[in-house]
Every structure is written in C-alpha cells, then in structure tokens.
Amino acid sequence: MSGASREIAYLRVEHEESEDESLLVAPIGATLRDVLLANGVSPYTAITDRLNCGGRGLCATCGVRFTGNKPVESATAEAEEDGSEDSHVPRPEHWHDELAARFGFPRLSCQTEVEEDMDVRIPEKIVWGSRRPDEGD
Ligand code: FES
C-alpha cells in the first residue's frame, strides 16, 4: 500500500432499537457525534437529545459501541501489509471515554475522532442513556 493519507472514512451505523442501518461518509478528523447528528442519526434518546452536555464529555448520553474488532494501530498496520481496509475500534483519548472502554460501557461519540472506517452500533437506551456494560454480544 502506498501509505497515502485518506481524506474520508466510511461509517456503517446500525441502530439496535430500530435495526436500521446507514452508511455515512465522514471527513477524517471529524468528531463522530457531529457526523452522526449532521446525517440525522442521533446517538441520544428523545430526552437527552435536548439535555446533553453539548459534546463536552460530561453527560455520557452520546454512547455508541464499536463493532470492529481491531484497535486502530493493528488495523492500520495490517492494512498496510495486506491492503485490506478493516474497520477499527478507536483508542480512547478522553478520561471519561477511557473509563467507558475499560469497563465495557458505551463509548462517547463526542470524544471520538474519525480516523479510519468504523462499524458503529447505537445501543438501545433507557431514558438517559445506556448504562449497561457490554454483555459480550
Ligand atoms: S454529549 Fe455529553 S458526553 Fe458526549
């Protein structure tokens, strides 16, 4: 692979509740929450759509799951080796998102930068936001 940098990434987004699926195109470097909202795909519930922290990493209502199976370093290295374009699980950069990742809770879409193609699942949420850790599904 040439190693040329990409300017866009493809996001496959599935809604656990409605079972809808969307394919979105996002500029590299965009915030996942912003990309979702700009495309009419809300990570929030009806209530938290209005009552959220505005992307400051405080309320944890913008949670999503990443269903890719490779951390970003691994996906990038393998893609360079074999030319494949795997979706990846972004590395947490924000303290709150790091805790979510460590304990298996949904990741904060407002604290996730689009760096590569991603498979994203918006979990079914109860009023405020999903608080259940990943049950290995
Ligand atoms: S919008 Fe509040 S934590 Fe993401």
Q: Where are the domains of the chain?
A: 8-122
Tell me how far the alpha carbon of residue 12 lies from the centroid of ligand 1, in angstroms: 21
CATH number of 8-122: 3.10.20.30
Q: Cβ(112) to ligand 1 under 6 A?
A: no
CA of 23 to the centre of ligand 1 (A): 23
- Position 30 scores a pLDDT of 97
Alpha-helical runs (H) found in the chain: 32-38, 72-82, 95-103
Give yes or no for residue 64 CB within 6 A of ligand 1.
no
Instruction: Give the dihedral sign, CA 76/102/36/69.
Output: positive
What is the rounded CA–CA span in Å between residue 12 and residue 117? 8
Q: Determine if ligand 1 sits within 6 Å of the CB of residue 72.
A: no
Q: Token pair for residue 13?
A: 């987004």
Question: Which residue stretches of the chain have pLDDT < 50?
Answer: 1-3, 72-80, 82-84, 137
For residue 80, the CA-to-ligand 1 centroid distance in Å is 33
Query: d(Cα 43, Cα 45) in Å, to the nearest integer?
Result: 7
pLDDT of residue 36: 97
The answer to pTM > 0.85 is no
Predicted local confidence at residue 57, as pLDDT: 93
Question: pLDDT tens, 101-136?
Answer: 888 889 999 999 999 899 999 998 776 555 555 555
